[in-house]
């Protein structure tokens, strides 16, 4: 029963994380991302980019247009797993954070610290451009 509650909390956390990102709510992202977070982005041309918490939040700020539409909030969660104070979530997204609308496959590591879940690592695989 306890494990099911934890899984539901993690799914809700990921849904809230996506909404904070697509609406560029930086204060929420600051709280959801661990201070030592790292993001690894593998694009469709096999280039890897590594950014920290500050750099990743800056990417959201660069895409955000005040008064403009939010980023795409499409989300499909494939797998959630917990082990004590750690969790792993595998999910797919669609957005244009990289400059073109693409499908992303993500592996996100979470840590329960300071009485909340926090993202410690995101591994993002960008697929090629989405056809209309």
Q: Which two tokens stand for residue 46?
A: 């096999």
Q: Please give the tally of structural domains in the chain.
A: 1
Please give the Cα distance from 39 to 43 (Å, whole number).
13
CATH number at residue 29: 3.10.450.50
pTM of the predicted structure, to 2 decimals: 0.89
Q: Summarize pLDDT for 54-110 with one digit per residue, the tens.
A: 999 998 788 777 777 778 899 999 999 999 999 999 999 998 755 677 899 999 999
* Separation in Å, CA 89 to CA 11, 46, 62, 131: 8, 23, 26, 26
Q: Summarize pLDDT for 8-65 with one digit per residue, the tens.
A: 999 999 999 999 988 889 999 999 999 999 999 998 889 999 999 999 999 878 877 7
Please give the Cα distance from 5 to 12 (Å, whole number).
11
Phi, psi of 89 (to 5 degrees): -130, 130
* Domain range enclosing 75: 2-129
């Amino acid at each position: 029963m306890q494990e099911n509650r934890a899984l539901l909390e993690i799914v809700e956390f990921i849904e809230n994380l996506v909404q904070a990102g697509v609406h560029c709510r930086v204060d929420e992202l600051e709280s959801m991302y661990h201070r030592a977070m790292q993001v690894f982005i593998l694009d469709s041309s096999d280039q890897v980019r590594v950014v920290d918490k500050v750099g990743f939040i800056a990417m959201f700020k660069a895409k955000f247009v005040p008064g403009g539409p939010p980023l795409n909030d499409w989300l499909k969660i494939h797998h959630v797993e917990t082990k004590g104070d750690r969790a792993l979530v595998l999910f797919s997204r669609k957005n244009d954070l990289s400059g073109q609308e693409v499908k992303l496959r993500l592996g996100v590591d979470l840590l329960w610290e300071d009485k909340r879940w926090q993202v410690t690592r995101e591994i993002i695989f960008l697929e090629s451009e989405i056809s209309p």
